[in-house]
Amino acid sequence: MALSTVNFTVLLVLTLASLCSGTSDPGVYLYPQFYQHSCPRAQDIVRSVVAKAVAKEARMAASLLRLHFHDCFVKGCDASLLLDSSGSIVSEKGSNPNKNSARGFEVIDEIKSALEKECPQTVSCADILALAARDSTVLAGGPNWEVPLGRRDSLGASLSGSNNAIPAPNNTLQTITTKFKRQGLDIVDLVALSGDHTIGLSRCTSFRQRLYKQTGNGVADSTLEEAYAWQLRSRCPRSGGDDNLFSLDRDSPTKFDNNYYKNIVAGKGLLNSDQVLLTKSLETMVLVKQYAENNELFFDHFAKSIVKMGNISPLTGAKGEIRKNCRKTN
């Protein structure tokens, strides 16, 4: 399958649209060649470190991709997620969506260290997250795209924003749709970006309610295929085993493909937030079935949607800073 590439013209339209909406400084926008002169090897360095990390642990691809999502949904794509608690900063790492699940921070540290040696205080942590997400996707067999660059790093974090803005596994489709809409993302973006669950793992605690108390009667969610429900129950009991891990895509958990959607159609979506894409809306159901049948269409929509997501409220120009260490402000 050829890689789906979002061309520069599309990226320029998206970034200029961001400019018109007031999310960037006047006259400043994101574009793939941002570091062409200031740090020409930047993308090669990010790609090299990510490749080494994923070769060591395939799961890391999903972890790095997830960091970009969880960063952009809180205060925009500004690397606020990477800040540790210090002084007046309360880290987003302790929020419900991130505690005991967000990972890959050491890989970001390694990338930042290498970039600081190559071109000090030039490449932002926010841009590192965006590049690492793209490289992780490609390494897992997914689509490629040009990453618009030029983001700067935040001077603070938002624990409450992280707790409230990031879609949760148990959210209703209406709630998830609202959270996406607040970020300027539509239904196509929602269904396409949910496809990042084609790789990675989830904890028992994230879907236990589907197995035992979805409707309060002690039985499994009726939209969950029965044999699959029993299989999940064997390792996800009513109590205990909170951190037991399960593949989000039971068929190809380390390969970025459309099996995630095929599983949903078969009633084998792991999370409630996965399965409701099929059962609670005709519009999302149509997209799920299209992606299940057409991997190339999924790749194309995912690439376009993640570029759009990466353009949420970037700090540019004189806003924010370029951190020397992604875990703390300068």
DSSP secondary structure, 147-214, as one string: PPB--BB-S---HHHHHHHS--TT--HHHHHHHHHHTT--HHHHHHHHGGGGS-EEEGGGTHHHHH-S
List of residues 6+ apart from 127 with CB closer than 8 A: 34, 35, 42, 147, 149, 150, 151
Selected catalytic residue, list 37, 68, 70, 197: 70
For residue 247, which phi and psi values (nearest 5 degrees)?
A: -70, 130
Element (H, E) at 277: helix 272-279
Question: Could you tell me which of 244, 252, 210, 258 has the C-alpha nearest to residue 230?
Answer: 210
Reported as half-sphere exposure (CB side, CA atoms, 13 A), residue 220 has a value of 20
Query: How far is C-alpha 239 from the chain's CA centre?
Result: 29
Establish whether 197 is a catalytic residue. no
Collapsing DSSP states into helix, strand and coil, what is residue 113?
helix
Residues 299 and 3: beta-carbon distance below 8 Å: yes
Residues 286 and 265: beta-carbon distance below 8 Å: no
Residues 41 and 118: beta-carbon distance below 8 Å: yes
Q: Dig out the tokens for 270 from the structure.
A: 């792991």
Active-site residue numbers? Answer: 70
